[in-house]
């Protein structure tokens, strides 16, 4: 077991493990640490705890010190420099005519590197731009292309729910979101209703996916026949309410009238159709007839292994017959050509009228 603490460098960034060393750290404190990008200031996001060494993906580094007033002054000065660097980079992009959108600028804590984040539809040749920026700032320049989700994560904003965007506030990783999740939650498939600020499907669709999948499995489908356990009346499902777990059923009365009743899902019987499908290896074996098929007879009952073998043989025979029919079709489509070395059939010569065409052979004495 290893003692670690979690440090985060952005509002919604990932949490990285560090060795607290001799420092007593609590969530919310600012610390100075050494990373692969150099010295940085981060915020403690996780209290000290012990984890297995197998969970560590990289060598564990130790927290350098707790941030002091001088460190915050350097951080404030870097923020002012970032604004000026952003303005200069925008001008250089316009001068070179590059189709890219500058998103954010980040100064390293020690000032030995500047990172420019941008978005673009395709690949951009920014070698001349890097040379111009390096000649202006006299330091190492790095341009990094990001996606629209990362852009929204950096800039932040307010969602349609009225709260700060999840990716900017607490969401560290982007989970895959599909249109199936919106269908499971019975949401409108209008892109403007289920898309976030970034233009992609909202990340919050993933939050309640498992709950809706569980609730939908308990409900019958619209148009399915159900039976009320209390009075034994059968009807057709008209609509369902996923969150309340209620079902509205159309029931025919004594006359031709149709009545709409609402039941709880536990008061209805769906029948055997709602059971999960039986795996293939556990399905009952088919009963085959004893009629003659081909050269032999089929038994009334076969074992599972023989049944699988017979299915394979049938598939192989069908494939062979299909290939044979294709070859015959090709032969029929080919034009008839007489071989050069083959002699043409000669017509029989006409014999004189007095001579018999087919004389009867004499019997041997």
What lies within 8 Å, CB to CB, of 305 at 6+ separation is none
Q: Is 45 helix (H, G, I), strand (E, B) or coil?
A: strand
C-beta neighbour count of 46 within 10 angstroms = 15
Record the tokens describing residue 272, joined without a space. 């055997």
Angle between helices 127-137 and 69-96 (to 10 degrees): 140
Residue ranges of domains in the chain, CATH in brackets? 2-67 (no CATH), 74-146 (3.30.300), 153-213 (no CATH), 218-274 (2.30.30.30)
Quote the CA–CA distance of 88 and 204 in Å, as a whole number. Answer: 37
Distance in Å from the first CA to the final CA of the chain: 117
Sign of the C-alpha dihedral computed for residues 82, 83, 88 and 93 taken in this order: positive
What lies within 8 Å, CB to CB, of 20 at 6+ separation is 3, 4, 5, 48, 62, 63
- Give yes or no for a contact between 117 and 144, defined as CB atoms under 8 angstroms apart: yes
Residue 98: half-sphere exposure toward Cβ, Cα within 13 Å: 22
Quote the CA–CA distance of 155 and 149 in Å, as a whole number. Answer: 10
Record the tokens describing residue 82, joined without a space. 């970032």
Please give the chain's pLDDT, 365 residues, in tens: 788 888 888 766 778 888 888 888 888 888 988 888 788 888 888 888 888 877 777 778 888 888 889 988 998 899 899 999 999 999 999 999 899 999 999 998 888 889 999 999 888 888 899 999 999 988 899 999 998 888 888 888 888 888 888 888 888 778 888 898 998 888 888 888 888 888 889 988 888 888 898 898 888 888 888 888 888 888 899 989 998 999 999 988 777 788 888 989 888 887 654 544 334 344 444 444 444 444 433 333 434 444 344 444 445 555 556 666 665 555 555 554 555 544 444 555 555 555 555 555 555 54
Q: How far is CA 104 from CA 135, 143, 196, in A?
A: 20, 10, 20
Q: Is 293 helix (H, G, I), strand (E, B) or coil?
A: strand
């Amino acid at each position: 077991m290893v003692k670690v603490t979690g440090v985060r460098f952005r509002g919604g960034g990932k949490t990285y493990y560090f060795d607290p060393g001799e420092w007593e750290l609590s969530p919310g404190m600012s610390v100075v640490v050494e990373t692969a990008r150099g010295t940085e200031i981060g915020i403690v996001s996780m209290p000290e705890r012990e984890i297995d060494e197998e969970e560590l993906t990289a060598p564990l580094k130790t927290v350098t010190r707790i941030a002091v007033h001088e460190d915050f002054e350097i951080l404030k000065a870097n923020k002012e420099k970032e604004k000026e660097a952003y303005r200069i980079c925008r001008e250089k992009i316009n001068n070179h005519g590059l189709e890219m959108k500058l998103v954010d600028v980040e100064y390293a804590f020690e000032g030995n590197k500047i990172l420019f984040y941008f978005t673009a539809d395709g690949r951009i040749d920014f070698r001349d731009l890097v040379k111009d920026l390096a000649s202006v700032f006299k330091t190492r320049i790095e341009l990094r292309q990001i996606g629209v989700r990362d852009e929204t994560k950096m800039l932040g904003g307010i969602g349609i729910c009225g709260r700060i965007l999840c990716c900017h506030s607490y969401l560290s990783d982007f989970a895959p979101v599909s249109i199936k999740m919106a269908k499971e939650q019975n949401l409108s498939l209008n892109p403007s209703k289920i898309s976030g600020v970034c233009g992609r499907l909202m990340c919050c669709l993933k939050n309640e996916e498992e709950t809706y999948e569980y609730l939908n499995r308990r409900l019958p489908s619209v148009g399915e026949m159900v039976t009320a356990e209390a009075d034994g009346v059968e009807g057709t499902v008209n609509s369902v309410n996923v969150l309340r777990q209620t079902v509205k059923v159309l029931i025919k009365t004594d006359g031709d009238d149709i009545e709409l009743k609402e039941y709880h899902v536990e008061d209805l019987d769906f029948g055997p159709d709602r059971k999960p499908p039986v795996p293939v290896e556990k399905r009952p074996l088919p009963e085959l007839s004893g009629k003659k098929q081909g050269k032999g007879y089929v038994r009334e009952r076969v074992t599972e292994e023989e049944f699988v073998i017979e299915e394979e043989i049938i598939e192989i025979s069908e494939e062979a017959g299909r290939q044979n029919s294709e070859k015959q079709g090709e032969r029929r489509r080919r034009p008839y050509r007489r071989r050069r070395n083959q002699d043409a059939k000669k017509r029989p010569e006409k014999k004189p009228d007095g001579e018999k065409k087919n004389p009867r052979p004499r019997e041997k004495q």
